[in-house]
Structure 1
């Protein structure tokens, strides 16, 4: 990058660069690439007035053409995403360091159609783009270059999100009659996302049901398409909110975490016994329960007046044993009925969730005098 008079420098990283890291057994390819990219940008900036456009790799459909290497390569998205993430991260660093003289063309966020016949696919041979898809990529590069040359403001960040269940062969498999966003209870799944013009991304999921998914937080990657899997043990929907922050502001994206039972799987079975029945004030009573074919079990109890009540909470699948992940026994199975419960019957609702869906069991019991 000598003083050749060029004012705009384009630095691009593509699939050939990525698969060669695998071919040459480089175990730290993305990190080395990020370090080299920073060096290249700083070298380019030694000439006053220069501007640099960083170009992400774009998605591809398959590596079948690379027959000698394909068995060693991960899914194309999983291979390329770390490099796309590195371009985005280094781009953010260099924008701050060089006061806007660096821009990023976010090609990895351009969706790719990988199925259908020759006319509908963006890459009929899995690797080489059609003219129509190439035009989409060129438009992203053109717009980024225009922003760089004119000083136009960076646009608001965007997020593209995809969840998908995996089958027994660890391949993406949509639920029949549903889209890729619907997950199967008890089966592994992946969550992939890509952003444009973002500096940070986070999410938070909430479910009103204790059996649902609750969690979230900031994410390390601006682009994530790795195929590490998480088993979906949350059989009820959750409402999620993704927050993407960039130089131009913050945008939120609502998302629903939807699940469906495993086809043909049997529903959980709940068994609860209390003895004696009815309960006798001042006397001990014994409670046992068991949830079969279940991942989780919750229970809540309601009563009028001074009757026995209990908030909605997770309990062990079998009475008298610890809840998973807790060193303590769930609760005593032998208790003493209180006189204050007389005249105020208690209704307890138990809910068990498993691969076959959710089962609810309701019981009502009374407390009497001797």
Structure 2
């Protein structure tokens, strides 16, 4: 199993293969030693050797036995010890959304606060308030923060939504939060969440395409996250005779399928300002203008998903983001875009539509922290006041 799949930053705490065993149990659920050995192509003796330090370190526990129909005997299942808590924070241009999760990224609580200002210090204070309200004095094993933009080693290189450049967000947040802090791009967080705990689980390769205020793109190949820049995918050329995006590109994906492009086209047609939800509602009521705008957008998304599949050879593409209802409302147009240039001997792309509100994006942020902090270092743990 690739180290990138593990997503772990502590390779010396346990042997690398032991870490792979722990992640296998975390991601896929309780397993017997025989099941683990078979799935990971290990001998029973090797598996026992690798599991021993994980049990001794409190990472794995022997759970209830399962009966083997072949031998008529029971074997103990191994499971993770879930006394972890993580907080994920997703930043938008005007709001911070946060969730509290357990070790398998199940949401236990959520909260949001408006951003009174978008200076780094003001945003960090809002994050601090959210973390305190969700932690309620309990120990937090890690805080993940994600946002739209380019992030390198905890530094926000560029975030157009917040107007930031070269902001050392991880360092600023670490000063006020009594927990390890990790910062990443929001699409990377959502891709990791789908990889370990969502529609990408069990697939060695898949792509994530998000549609909302912008276009996002995540890619997993060989069970490893592939570094991608989300911006260029938004400018995939779809139709040279199509509309123009704000960057001046004619007929690109962003010109068709962002919230802004959809509402702008529908608003021009109706000669009044429309919101995205209103466009969806009008289309569902049979409005011809809204139906045409959403059909064009869904067709463009289908074409983009088909291109991504053709280039990467992944057969599963997950569609997500705030604007994904367009794919549900105009499903026939999505299918038309997917299949327009498909060769007859190539299997169809397996498209999964996964709506995601901003709390789901925050869950992705929690997974960013989870992947970097599991298993935790031994030693005392203090709660967040």
What TM-score, normalized by structure 1, do the two folds share? 0.23
Computing the radius of gyration over CA atoms, which structure comes out larger, 1 or 2?
1
Given the two structures, how large is their TM-score scaled by the length of structure 2?
Answer: 0.23
Which structure has more strand as a fraction of its residues? Answer: 1
Q: Which has the higher contact order (CA 8 A, sep 6+)?
A: 2
